[in-house]
Amino acid sequence: MDERLREVLGDEDAWVVGGAVRDELLLRPVLDLDVACAEPRDAANRFARRFGGSVFPLSERHGAWRVVADGIDETVDFTPVGDGIDADLATRDFTFNAIAVHVRTGVTHDPHDGRADLAAGVIRAVSESIFLDDPLRLLRAVRFEDELDFGMDDRTEALLFASAALVTQPAGERTLAELERLSPTGYRRLDEVGLLERLGGGLHERLDALDDPDFRLVVVFGDNLRQLPISNELKRYAAALRRARRPEDPSPRSIHRFRKDTEPWALDALAYVGAPELVGVVEAARLADPSAPLVRGDELGLEPGPAIGRILDVIEEERAAGTISTREDALALARALVSAEVRT
C-alpha cells in the first residue's frame, strides 16, 4: 500500500481500486492510483499540498479529482465512494479491475473473484451491461487481452459481439488512446471480433513490418485515420507513407526521389512499401547529404516564382545522381533549364 495515501487518508474509509491493484498483483509497475473516498476534492488537495502536484477536476459530473505529480509520470485520481465500496466495484468493467485495498488496514476486498481471474488469465465482465455503460470497454477488452496475454471468457466475448455496433460511440480521443496501445496481435484480434471494420480499419500485409504504434495506425486505417483526432505530426507522417512508392532501383537518382517524397520518415516508408533491403542504401545517402546547396535561388538571376523551385529540385537531383558537383555545373544546368522553358 502507498504510504502517502495512508498518511493523508489513514483515518478515513478510503480504498485503492482498479488498475493499481491489478498491476500490483501482477507485479507490474504502478504509475497511476485510483482512490475511492468520501471527499475526493478535499483528499486531492490535501495530497497535493503534502506531496506536491497539480490538482484539477477529472469529472465534474462524477465529482472526481486528479493530482498530477510534479516531474514524474504519475497521476492520483480521487473518486467518490458513493454508496459504499461494493456499489463502486459493481460498476467496474472486468473482475480484475474490481478489487479494492483499504488504505488504512491494507485488507483486500474482492467480491467478484478478480484475483482468481488474474491467476487464470481470464477477462471476465463484472456485469451484463458493461459495454452498454461504456462502449470504450469493447476496445479495452481486446487491449487487455493483448497487453496481458489473457483471454475473454465465453460470456464476456458474447457480450462484446452483441454490443460491437457501439464501438464508434466513444470520443475519438479515447478511442485513439486505446488503439495506440495495440500490437499487431491486438489489431488481428480487433478484426476477429468485428470491431476493426466498424472503426474504418482493415488488416494490412505489412502490419508487422515495423514495431511502431503510429506505423500500425497508418497501415490499418489508411485515409480513414483522419477520422480520428490525430496530431498534425501524425498527419504528415501518414501522408508521407501513403504517397511513398517503392524505388525503381537502388540507384542514387531513385533513392533521392524516394527520400524527397518521404523524409524524414524514409526508413519507415521503406517498411511501408516492402523494401527493407534498401535501408542501408538510404542510410548511406543520408550520411552523404551535402552540408550546403551548390546554388541558392537568389543566385539564379530569375524573377521569384515556381520556376526557381523546379530548377533547384533538378539541380539537387542531378547532384545526388553524380552528374554535377560544382557551383559552375549547377549554374550551367540552370541556364540550360531556363532556355528549355523559354523554347517551350
pLDDT confidence of residue 72: 66
Burial of residue 288, with CB atoms counted within 10 A of its CB: 0-12 exposed, 13-18 middle, 19 or more buried: exposed
Are 101 and 133 members of one domain?
no
Q: Does residue 209 fall inside a structural domain?
A: no
Residues 231-254 as b/e (b if ≥16 CB within 10 A, e otherwise) read eeebeebbbbbeebeebeeeebbb
**Do 101 and 1 belong together in one domain?**
yes
> Quick check: is 302 in a domain?
yes
Cell of 79: 473518486
Q: Which of 13-27, 63-77, 125-139 is modeled with the greatest confidence?
A: 125-139
User: What is the C-alpha to C-alpha distance for residues 200 and 191, in angstroms, rounded to an integer?
Assistant: 11
Q: Which of 101, 120, 139 is the last residue of a domain?
A: 120
Residue 274 is placed in which grid cell?
A: 516492402
Give the predicted TM-score (pTM) of the model: 0.88
* Omega before 264 within 30 of 0, i.e. cis: yes
Name which of 313, 344, 208 is nearest 333 in CA terms.
313
Which whole-number Å values give the CA distances from 107 to 96, 117, 323, in the listed order?
Answer: 16, 19, 77
Do residue 128 and residue 108 come from a single domain? no
Can you say whether residue 136 is alpha, beta or left, with left for phi > 0 and alpha for psi between -120 and 50 degrees?
Answer: alpha
Round the average pLDDT of the chain to a whole number and report it.
93
What's the rounded mean pLDDT across residues 278-287?
A: 97
Residue type present at position 43:
A
Task: Give the pLDDT mean for 170-177.
Answer: 96
Query: What pLDDT does 124 receive?
Result: 98
Q: How confident is the model at residue 43 (pLDDT cuts 50, 70, 90)?
A: very high
pLDDT in the model for residue 44: 93
**Average confidence (pLDDT) over 106-118:** 96
Q: What's the rounded mean pLDDT across residues 100-113?
A: 94
Residue 268: inside a domain = yes
Residue 177 has pLDDT above 90, yes or no: yes
Domain count of the chain?
4
Q: Which of 92, 42, 49, 84 is nearest to 63 (CA)?
A: 42
Cβ(193)–Cβ(162) under 8 Å? Answer: no
Q: What are phi and psi of 136, to 5 degrees?
A: -60, -25
Residue 210 located in a structural domain: no
47 and 150 in a single domain? The answer is no
Do 111 and 11 share a domain, yes or no?
A: yes
pLDDT in the model for residue 60: 66
d(C-alpha 72, C-alpha 57), whole Å: 20
Regarding whether 337 and 277 lie in a shared domain, the answer is: no
Q: Are residues 162 and 172 in the same domain?
A: yes
Q: Are residues 15 and 37 in the same domain?
A: yes
pLDDT of residue 143: 98
Could you tell me the three cell numbers for 135?
Answer: 462502449
Residue 69's pLDDT is what? Answer: 81
More confident residue, 71 or 156: 156
- Of 60-69, 162-171, 290-299, 304-313, which has the strongest mean pLDDT? 162-171
pLDDT range class, residue 343, cuts 50, 70, 90: low
Cβ contact 276:308 at 8 Å = no
140/73 same-domain check = no
To the nearest whole percent, how much of the chain has pLDDT over 70?
97
Whether 123 and 153 have beta carbons less than 8 Å apart is answered as yes
**What's the pLDDT score for residue 344?**
52
Give the C-alpha separation, 164 to 201, whole Å: 14
Domain assignment present for 60: yes
Burial status of residue 80 (CB atoms within 10 A of its CB: 0-12, 13-18, 19 or more): middle
**Last residue of one domain, picked from the residues 85, 120, 155:** 120
CA atoms within 13 A on the CB side of 52: 5
Distance CA 265, CA 250 (A): 18
Residue 71's domain comprises 1-120
Which range (6-10, 114-118, 241-245) has the least confidence? 6-10
* pLDDT above 70: residue 139: yes
Taking the CA atoms of the chain, what radius of gyration do you get in angstroms? 28
pLDDT band at 188 (very low <50, low <70, confident <90, very high): very high
Q: Inform me whether the pLDDT recorded for 172 exceeds 80.
A: yes
| pLDDT at position 298 | 85
The beta-strand segments (E) located in the chain are 15-17, 32-37, 54-59, 64-68, 75-80, 100-102, 108-109, 122-123, 151-152
